[in-house]
Amino acid sequence: MARLPQLLDHRGMPVRRAELREEISAPTTRGVRSPLSAYPSDGLNPERLGAILREADQGDPIRYMELAEIIEERDPHYLGVLGTRKRSVTQLPITVKEGGEDQLDLDIAEELRSWLGREELTSELFDILDAIGKGYSHTEIIWDYSSGQYWPAKLKNRKQAWFRFDRVDLETPVMLDENGQECPYPAYKFIFAQMKSKTGLPLRSGLARVATWNWLFKAYTQRDWTIFTQTYGQPLRLGKFGSGASEKDKNTLLRAVTNIGGDLAAIIPESMMIEFIEASNVGASTEHYERRSDWLDKQISKAVLGQTATTDAVTGGLGSGKEHRQVQEDIETADATQLAAILNRDLIIPWVNLNYGPRPKYPTIKLSRPEEEDLKNLAEALGPFIDRGLQVSAETIYAKFGIPAPRQGAQILHPTGQNAAPAASAPPGNPAAAPESEFEYRLNTLPGQSGVVAAEQSEEASEALISPQAKMADVLAEMMQAPMQSMMDQIEEMVAASGSLGELRESLLAGFPELDADRLIEVLAEGMAAAELGGRAALEVESA
């Protein structure tokens, strides 16, 4: 039996096939991979936040990752813009490019396309893109080998706190074993996604690094705003007592004004008085807190989406609308390119190697938004070139506009007042029988006429016989319609420009030599020639 070749991943680690069939980083109730998280945000202040970030910089990211997750839960704006950025990538179409042109390469690519059609893939890609916020993410590949071939059954997201980075370079990811010891994770078992928002170590390259400070300042602002609303936002309650009031009376009055603030109900002796003094600058003071919160939200929008137009109701002016959308599309393209490269490296190449061995070239996936083409401009640009003889296949036009080609026998739409357009310039199978003029062509292709084209149309047309004179009259009427309409347009312009019948008469007399009647003369000449030839043919038939 042939020995399977030893496979190595992109790090040079050997692949152990027995480990691929096991779930090696599942959460446990005991040990270092606990699904429960602490809450480092409670009582957070600048000093504690600085300590948490320094711990992460030194290779201990547990509290930093827990804080990043809590911020997503407690800041709706950050959650919204971060979710928008991730979902814009997960909704992009995924295409597969074959690694080669032989049949095996085509089969591998088709197998990959089948797997990419899984409904769970959108959710799995969303979890992988957690790296946008936290800087990196780990996803375990659950391989299925029940059919004799390796198949990625599931892609399970694993918490960043269950992994570390090599203490020497702080860039090489390692995992924690059951005893909490750092060790390299197995080859072909994990998708390690690093999505940098800035150059630097993975632990310092995520958007959460910015979001933590922004959220802390925003939390202070909202707390002050709440205190102001509860205290200074209420009117001042001033109790007054007479000079002869006893200490008991004073205590009674104090309890009364205090209870009014919470219970909004109190009783006092008749001799006492409570006065409510409204604050005149409450509105202006509360606006200060609101503006600061909005400003902080805008900074997060800029950090995550690169602009604010899609998250804040700000329109008009420079840098709005289309320009902001272009910025967001640039970020989307960059995220999609990074994600595709990560999947090709950590999933596609391992999958092909496990089933088919190393290949000269591997299939690749690409996430991209289809480029929108201005079909109206395309149609307007192609028209003149086609009229001048440019050959464009109908299949190309159907594909551009997303219209299926008509099936045999389907009803075909035509412009109002026009007959069906010819399928070819000459009857099929008889190029030498091509008509010499448009008049003859239209006459030959009318229902009831002999010839291949007429025979095909007669199957769908009425069987009623039409006299040659009637056919000729119909053809002449249709061919004269365009030149007559051109002449009528010129006459209508003269009528519109004339202020009286006298002016119209002078315009007609002056403009008559300029009327374009060349096409009309050509049609009449063709009609007279056809009539003469038809008469000669009729005489020959009668004489025979």
Q: How far apart are CA 211 and CA 301, in angstroms?
A: 10
Is 339:125 a contact under the CB 8 Å cutoff?
Answer: yes
Going by DSSP bridges, is the β-strand pair 273-277/236-240 parallel, antiparallel, or unpaired?
antiparallel
User: Quick one: tokens of 528?
Assistant: 């007279």
Is 82:72 a contact under the CB 8 Å cutoff?
Answer: yes
pLDDT at 69: 93
Averaged over successive runs of 10 residues, the pLDDT of the chain (544 residues) comes to: 69 87 83 83 88 90 92 91 93 92 93 92 95 94 90 93 89 87 90 91 90 88 75 66 78 77 55 62 67 87 82 54 71 93 95 92 91 75 79 80 80 66 46 48 50 45 53 73 77 78 76 70 78 74 69
Q: Tell me, what amino acid is at 35? A: P
pLDDT at 425: 44
Which is nearest to 344 in space by CA: 135, 40, 29, 94? 94
Q: How far apart are CA 390 and CA 182, in angstroms?
A: 68
For 523, phi then psi, to 5°, come to -65, -45
Q: How far apart are CA 351 and CA 368, in angstroms?
A: 22
User: Quick one: tokens of 7?
Assistant: 């496979």
Q: Give the list of residues 6+ apart from residue 46 with CB closer than 8 angstroms, or none.
A: 216
Is 495:505 a contact under the CB 8 Å cutoff?
Answer: no
Q: How far apart are CA 451 and CA 474, in angstroms?
A: 19
pLDDT at 450: 44
Q: Secondary structure of the chain: what % helix, strand, coil (to 5)?
A: 50, 10, 40
pLDDT at 66: 92
pLDDT at 194: 93
pLDDT at 86: 94
Q: At what angle do helices 282-305 and 208-227 cross, to 10 degrees?
A: 170
Q: Determine which helix (DSSP H) or strand (DSSP E) holds 164, and give its type and residue range.
A: strand 163-165
- For residue 194, count CB atoms less than 10 angstroms from its CB and return exposed for 0-12, middle for 13-18, buried for 19 or more: middle
Within 10 A of 439 (CB to CB), how many other CB atoms are there?
Answer: 21
pLDDT at 438: 53
Q: At what angle do helices 208-227 and 76-90 cross, to 10 degrees?
A: 150
Question: Helix or strand or coil: residue 416?
Answer: coil
Q: How far apart are CA 153 and CA 506, in angstroms?
A: 87
Q: Which residues pair with 277 in a beta bridge?
A: 236
Q: How far is CA 495 from CA 409, 424, 485, 486, 509, in A?
A: 47, 42, 15, 15, 13
Q: Where are the alpha helices (DSSP H) in 139-246?
A: 208-227
**Sequential DSSP letters for 297-337:** HHHHHHHHHS-STTTS---SSTT-THHHHHHHHHHHHHHHH
Q: Is the pTM of this model over 0.85?
A: no
